[in-house]
Structure 1
Amino acid sequence: MKTASDVIARLASDPSRAGLVMDFDGVLAPIVDDPAASALLPGTAEVLDALSRHLAMVGLLSGRPVSFLRERVPGENVVLMGSYGVETWVDGEIRVLPAVAQWKPAVAEAEAELRRLFDAADVPGIHVEGKGLAVAVHWRQARERVAAAAFVEHVVREVAAKTGLRREPGKLVEELRAPVDEDKGTGLQRAIRAAGVDAVAYAGDDRGDLPAFAAVLALGGDALVVGGVDIAPEVAAVDGVAFSDPEEFLVWMKDLATVLDAQI
């Protein structure tokens, strides 16, 4: 079984052909009750900058929009892929896959309907988050999480059937997005091809990361599984190197940066 040190050794053996791609929430930033308050752990931005000066590719692949990532990740050397990889930051602008862009009106309709239904239900702790190319419903702040989860799933299924959007469950969240064959796995594959890297590691923490884990393992790369209290069983079962939380993963990134710095 591979260890965290094994992955460092592999990436550092030929940095010019190596890449590290990560989710944002739950990997670089602790999960918080208010999604808008999510932020990098202190020192993470500096480590990302250091890694991007050595590795051929350092990227973020998140369910968040690129605009969200741009606000929180300084510099231009980190590849930003938002909305599960269907939008990217390229040459100073956000580019969206055409097959997904055409679903923006349906997403806007779904967001408006979800807000109307949950406002009318007046259930404390349920929060609707508009993400541009997707809409998410969180219930992390609900007092009765089991009941809230059942209610949210019921409403989201109804709105999905009405709008034609695809339902994607996550960690105390339900999301609706375009029903196209795009996910973090296809997004990761595009990024790897564009960067021309051979050794790749992907770090994630939730069900939405499963396609990326499958893709990186199929390519002979490494899965870095960042755990937490609410980690799904299928995520915990991924064949990869496990980290207990974002803090432990940050220590690993610092160790990787130290090894790469020493090779100059």
Structure 2
Amino acid sequence: MEAILSDPAGAVIGLDFDGTLSPIVPDPAKAVIHPKAPEVLAALGAHVLAVAIVTGRPPATALELGPGLADVPGLVVLGHYGFERWENGRISGPPPPAGVLRAEAELPLLLDKLALEGVTVEDKVRAVAVHTRRSPDPEGALARLREPLAELAGKHDLVVEPGRFVLELRPPGMDKGQALSLFLAERAARSVMFVGDDLGDLAAFAAVRASGLPGVTVCSGSAEVTALAEQADIVVDGPDGVVALLHELASAFSHS
């Protein structure tokens, strides 16, 4: 934190989206960014090297669910775990892998066989997510899905990314840690903060530690995921706590 505060122009502030900037909701399509987050991120963006949102969501979806994000100075959205990128109003990335489309086509039959109530499928274009949050027994449904989804992923050269009552099938070869590491190198960062809430953010925490830079990891705490909090330097109370921490940081920059 001292390095970030003393040299903000060399700092990269990396953040997850769901559960970090946006509260978790039963229907992912109805998620919305914390109302104060865009303003706080804009205040940070005026001082730091870069603000980067690193998310499993497509960049366009994160921007749609986060009105005002596109106006954050220097914002970069690394979506699909870094496979797709939004910057300066443009989205770039390779075409969607065929394996995702094939796996998604087979999911309805698989879920019918398992007869799991309340399980929903989210099409993320470059990935497909199976959510159990709305199931009468979310943990039990998740446990029953792990093995068949792993088999389906293997069949189509995909990997399974676990999360908060969700299993996501996505292409291998990139995760939040790799995306963050590449971005830090690209920007020649001199310090880094990463804020996350879920198991997929463990790789980004590891990237902060492996970067050799002065770094701080922050967990947007919840009762659903404790593994991340155990590895974080700072734990805050959900998106409200994240926004409060970032506000303190932006205020410190403004008064320095």
TM-score by structure 1 length?
Answer: 0.89
Per the alignment, residue 70 of structure 2 pairs with: 74
Equivalent residue for 2:219? 225
Moved more, 20-29 or 115-124: 115-124
AA aligned to 1:16 is A
Partner amino acid, structure 1, of 2:133:
R
User: After superposition, where does 1:106-255 map in structure 2 within 5 Å?
Assistant: 106-119=99-112, 121-180=114-173, 182-219=174-211, 220=213, 221-233=215-227, 235-255=228-248
Which stretches in structure 2 are left out of the alignment for 5+ residues?
none
User: What secondary structure does 2:71 align onto?
Assistant: coil
TM-score when normalising by structure 2? 0.91
Match of 2:18 in 1: 25
Unaligned stretches of 5+ residues in structure 1 = 1-6
Question: Given residue 115 of structure 1, which amino acid in structure 2 is its aligned partner?
Answer: P
Residue 224 of structure 1 contacts residue 242 of structure 1 at CA under 8 Å; is this kept in 2?
yes
Deviation at 1:154, TM superposition (A): 3.0
Asked whether the 8 Å contact 1:160–1:176 carries over to 2, the reply is yes
Matches within 5 A, 1:30-41: 30-41=23-34
- How big is the shift at 1:122? 4.6
* SS state at 1:33 partner: coil
Q: Is the 8 A contact 1:207 1:232 kept in 2?
A: no
Taking the aligned partners of 2:50 and 2:154, their CA distance within structure 1 comes to: 39
Q: Give the partner amino acid of 1:208.
A: G
Which whole-Å CA distance do the structure 1 matches of 2:81 and 2:21 have between them? 16
Structure 2 residue matching 1:237: 3-state secondary structure: helix
What percentage of residue pairs aligned between the two structures are identical?
Answer: 36
Q: Cα RMSD between the aligned structures?
A: 1.7
- Paired with 1:218 and 1:240, the residues of 2 have a C-alpha distance of 15
Give the count of matched residue pairs: 250
